[in-house]
Amino acid sequence: MSDEWTARMISPAVELGSAPLFRIEFTVDGAVGHATLRISSLGVHEARINGRAVGDDVLSPGWSAYEHRLRYLTHDVTALLEETSVLTVLVGNGWYRGRLGFMGGRAFYGDRLGVIAELDVRYTDGRRQRVVTDAATWTAGGSEIIADDLYDGMIIDARHRTATPEWSLPVRELDFDPGRLTPYTGPVVTRQETVPPARIWTSPAGRTLIDFGQNLVGWVRFTATGPAGTEIRVRHAEVLEDGELGTRPLRDAQATDRFILSGGEDRFEPTMTFHGFRYAEITGAVVPDDLEAVVVHSALRRTGTFECSDDLLNQLHRNVVWSTKGNFLDLPTDCPQRNERLGWTGDIAVFAASAAYLFDVSDFLADWLADLAAEQQAADGLVPFVIPDILKFQPHPPEFPDPDSTAFWSDAAVWVPWALWQSYGEIKILTSQYASMAAHVRRVRTLLSPSGVWDRSFQFGDWLDPDAPPDAPAKAKADPGVVATAAYYRSLTIVAEVAALLGHPDDAAEFTASASRTREAFNREYVSTDGTVRSDCTTAYTLAIVFELLDADRQAAAGQRLAALVADSGYRVSTGFAGTPYVTDALTRTGHLVDAYRLLLERECPSWLYPVTMGATTIWERWDSMLPDGTVNPGEMTSFNHYALGAVADWMHRTVGGIAPLEPGYSRVLVAPRPGGGLTWCKSSLETRHGRIEVAWDIVDGELKVDTSLPEGVTGVLSLPGHPDVEL
């Protein structure tokens, strides 16, 4: 099939009061050798031929930067065709026309839903038939979906299933540039698994509550029979509060699905929304008996595993996995439940390495980076807070005055492709993103103060420092300029290396010189003669150490001071968004492995294991999203499914598990487990582009034994404490 589209984007001529269902009937005249359907939509779609789904994807075409890129799918539909065939496409609001963002508003991209499709039929005798969307041959009608919204849920009226459909309503062609259409590069969203109820009971208020035992993302489906017009309502939430469904953290997201019975046996599955939930509340005269939760996320292949002798650490790692699954639904989001669910750049900037170990996210994140580059180019080099950028359609919140490039968040343009390069060794990600990477550091250069540090524009800084006021998460202990300048230096060193790797020597020299000046400015402005880093807090030392801003003497002194600060905090976490992903690395690099393990294994709040002791099955946004007495944090910003603080998994994989790349893509491997914390064994594995790596260690009678397996053709180094390195 030619890449050129002859189909037109069509929309109902009038609003129908329900999700539109587009239809065409056509004749298949002969033996079919092969048939494909290319399809996209303004809104999310479900296509069927002769009543059967054309694919297993849901919520397609997902959410991209619609002004620049609208993805389409190609399905093999050969087996679905009959002599007289009917192609229908149901279109819901999705991200295109539904509610988006925490400031309110909807339909930021347009107020008309639409579909564009081309069916290409190749007959065995060489003939070809094409069925394309246009105003002349297609019609539209209403559907059983009375309302649909990603935040608020769906209303499905099964009585419309038994009614005679009205297909005489005309469609019209929209003004649409097919040049925006681009094929999927990442995986589609699909149903991944089902989870049965773990417990069903009646709440103190007399409501039926269901605990699925796992905080997940997706929906509830069931079969029900009852009088026509009977309504069953399902509300969703991540936690309970005072024995009832805890909906306050959802803010104004309704997260409620309503199902109206037809009078016969009805099967309900709300596939044009999704919810983040562990608990559901069922109201109505009929309570279904075959309820199950359907887990939905992008179809990612699991690649990395980790297991050790500490059950709490194992649960922490499982929580990281589940938060990755829940927030990798078409794009990397901050949370999946409240009125937000946005592609915050800072979250994935620090988490990309962890994600790339757990799953094959190469195509998934490459697709998102294409949107980042498109949004950045349209904003003159500025990488927005969220990708796709819907904040540009709204007034700036008062806490984000005149936003510009922002450390850690905008650095995603550099750090994410670098993490993919290190994990997969595929040069194409650097080639495709190089212009974006270079544009970011060049824009930041214009924001520096005359002293050469980045301290003049708005910064999130060490966001959610546990010592910051609950209503002012940016008021961290770490000076924002220290955080920003350290992050800028890291980005400069990466882009300089990429420029050299790609054969851009002038750029490499430019960025190397900028990095040298930035490092000098950091030490001049922020590091005193005795080695104290401004703010004298854990995050300041952590970033200076891990991003290699200090000379050897100052590095050692910074490590000593960092270890002392960690001990002074009682080994409870004292870092926020910027410092937390790197603090265990900083301790390890400066010879304080014991302190790193004590920090990791601490159970009192704030700590990584505190949520685990409170029954968490995903990573929380705040260390104290739930307070020790079981009540929910009173702050407005409280999510129970936020992967960012789970970025410590990267350290666990490399330092506890012992698997790290010596060369990009693990073509050469460092096997360097560093046991500690009382752990007696650990098993890790990783499926790389070259094959499977396995490392298992245990301690028996005080002796460390390590077994490792590398793919054929892959070399490595075995590095063990107190022993010389060994070539593998």
Q: DSSP of 108-167, one letter per residue?
A: SS-S--EEEEEEEEEETTS-EEEEE--TTT-EEE--SEEEEETTTEEEEETHHHHSPP--
Would you state the pLDDT for residue 1? 45
Which of 43, 21, 181 has its CA nearest to residue 110? 43
- The values of phi and psi at residue 562, to 5°, are -60, -45
Look at residue 396 in the predicted model and tell me its pLDDT. 77
342 CB neighbour count, 10 Å cutoff: 23
Instruction: Tokens for 529, please give them.
Output: 């003669």
Residue among 144, 340, 375, 510 flagged as catalytic: 340
Count Cβ neighbours within 10 Å for each residue of 262-273 and write b for 16 or more, e otherwise.
beeebebbbbbb
Could you confirm whether 621 is annotated as catalytic?
Answer: yes
Give the pairing type, strands 715-718 and 668-671: parallel
Q: Are strands 659-663 and 668-671 parallel, antiparallel or unpaired?
A: antiparallel
Closest CA to 156 of 75, 47, 234: 234
In this structure, what DSSP letter does residue 432 have? H
Residue 343 corresponds to which amino acid? G
**Angle (nearest 5°) at CA 539 between 534 and 543:** 85
> Encoding tokens for residue 237?
């939430």
Element (H, E) at 162: helix 159-162
* Local mean pLDDT, 10-residue blocks, the chain (728 residues): 85 94 96 98 98 98 98 98 97 98 93 98 97 97 97 97 77 97 96 97 96 98 95 98 95 97 96 98 87 98 98 98 98 97 98 98 98 98 97 81 90 98 98 98 98 95 93 93 98 98 98 98 96 97 98 95 98 97 98 98 98 98 93 90 98 98 98 98 98 97 95 96 93
* Strand (E) or helix (H) holding 122: strand 114-123
What is the tally of helices (H) and strands (E) in the chain? 15, 34
What's the burial of 6, exposed, middle or buried (CB within 10 Å: 0-12/13-18/19+)? exposed
Give me the amino acid identity at 600: L
Structure tokens at 52: 């059967």
**259 within 8 A of 266, measured Cβ to Cβ:** yes
**Coil/strand/helix, residue 14:** coil
State the Cα–Cα distance between residues 420 and 357, nearest whole angstrom: 10
Contacts of residue 576, defined as CB under 8 A and 6 or more positions apart, other chains included, come to 461, 462, 463, 464, 465, 466, 468, 473, 476, 478, 539
This prediction's pTM: 0.97
> What Cα–Cα distance (Å) separates residue 601 from each residue in 8, 51, 436, 583, 609?
58, 54, 39, 14, 7
379, two tokens = 């904003």
Spatial separation of the C-alpha atoms in residues 100 and 149, rounded to whole Å: 10
Angle at 543 between CA 542 and CA 545, to 5 degrees: 70
pLDDT of residue 597: 98
Q: What is the pLDDT of residue 63?
A: 98
The gap from C-alpha 213 to its chain's centroid, in whole angstroms, comes to 22
Nearest to 301 by CA among 270, 327, 325: 325
**Torsion angle (degrees, nearest 10) of CA 97, 101, 103, 107:** -10
Q: In DSSP terms, which residues pair with 696 in a beta bridge?
A: 683, 707
Return the residue matching tokens 């307070």. Answer: 627
Tell me phi and psi for residue 46, to 5 degrees: -135, 120
Give the three-class secondary structure for 420. Answer: helix
The token duo for 437 is: 């990477």
The distance of Cα 95 from the centroid of its chain, to the nearest Å, equals 15
Nearest to 274 by CA among 371, 130, 154: 154
Annotation says 340 is catalytic: yes
Paired strand residues for 386: 344
* 700: enclosing H helix or E strand: strand 691-700
Write the CA distances from 251 to 102, 388, 435, 637, integer angstroms. 9, 22, 39, 9
The whole-angstrom distance between residue 47's C-alpha and the CA centroid of its chain comes to: 26
DSSP for 503-558 reads: T-HHHHHHHHHHHHHHHHHHHHHHB-TTSPBTT-SHHHHHHHHHTT-S-HHHHHHH
Three-state secondary-structure class, residue 597: helix
Return the closest-CA partner of residue 68 out of 371, 387, 429.
371
Distance linking the first and last C-alpha atoms of the chain: 49
Q: Which amino acid is at 270?
A: P
Distance CA(85)–CA(133), nearest Å, equals: 15
The backbone torsions φ and ψ at residue 645, rounded to the nearest 5 degrees and listed phi first, read -70, -10
DSSP type of residue 581:
T
